[in-house]
Amino acid sequence: MSSPVLIEVHEGVMTVTLNRPEAKNAVNLEIAKGVAEAMRRLDESDELRVAIITGAGGTFCSGMDLKGFLDGEIPVIEGRGFAGLTQGPPEKPLIAAVDGFALAGGMEIALACDMIVAQRDARFGIPEAKLGLVAGAGGLVRLPRQIPIRLAMEYALTGDLIDAKRAYEIGLINRITDGPALIAAKDLAATICANGPLAVRATKKVMTEQAGWPAETMWQRQDELIGPIFDSNDAREGAAAFAEKRKAKWTGT
């Protein structure tokens, strides 16, 4: 029996594939456990810089496994949330590569990522209200922070789907691709991997936390996070590489 979560690592990029194509990659407890473990590995490994999460069989994820839900299975991991991700994203960059559908919990997985790359025919949506449910794994709190509130309200209350073109127009996704989303996501990941790993990690932390910072402490909090970067070996290496017109050799120190 194949694993419900497949892991591939290549040149600093971890690709995490939800692997239940027969169920449109619906999230059960085994998927949640596998994703949570992958996110732990991502943050703890010095060799890994960026991760991509995608789905097998031409679709991203149809949401929570409702058959499992009816049997009492809740695919939530303590400290990580639904699908082992939505309440505890990794400290390093995470890209969603979306083909087919990202619905309900599937869209909430994508919303928990830092960037989204989608195939042109992809569709997004949080249709939980149509089923008498609520998008409680991030749909109702992340969506209005990522697109205009009135649009988020409409999509949440109607449950209507959003095509990739519209998702790009309203700033929900980063890139649209005619080919498989994973190929474009790997190109984006490679660009990030070429940058200083300490700088990338600190940059993500500032950008994800700054919204909650009071104005009077904003600069102090930023300085606390980025100050060590300027004193790092990588900062000196980056400056030297630029001056010498060569590729930097990052050590993560």
Q: What is the pLDDT of residues 98-126, one digit of tens each?
A: 999 999 999 999 999 999 999 999 999 99
- Which tokens hold the place of 38? 């992958």
Spot the catalytic one: 11, 44, 78, 128.
Answer: 128
pLDDT mean over 146-172: 97
> Do 15 and 7 meet the contact criterion of CB atoms below 8 Å apart?
yes
Catalytic residue list contains 73: no
Spot the catalytic one: 108, 154, 209, 216.
Answer: 108
Residue whose structure tokens are 């949570």: 36
- Which tokens hold the place of 100? 């087919």
What pLDDT, in 10s, does the model give residues 163-218?
999 999 999 999 999 999 999 999 999 999 999 999 999 999 999 999 999 999 99
pLDDT at residue 251 in the model: 93
Q: Which residues pair with 182 in a beta bridge?
A: none
Q: Which residues, 6 or more positions from 142, have their beta carbon under 8 angstroms from its beta carbon?
A: 108, 111, 112
Residue whose structure tokens are 């969603």: 96
- The structure's pTM equals 0.95
Sequence spans of domains, the chain? 5-193, 197-243
Catalytic residue list contains 154: no
What does CATH list as the number for 5-193?
3.90.226.10
Average pLDDT, rounded, for the chain: 96
> Do 52 and 17 meet the contact criterion of CB atoms below 8 Å apart?
no
The answer to whether residue 1 scores a pLDDT higher than 70 is no
pLDDT band at residue 70 using 50, 70 and 90 as cut-offs: confident
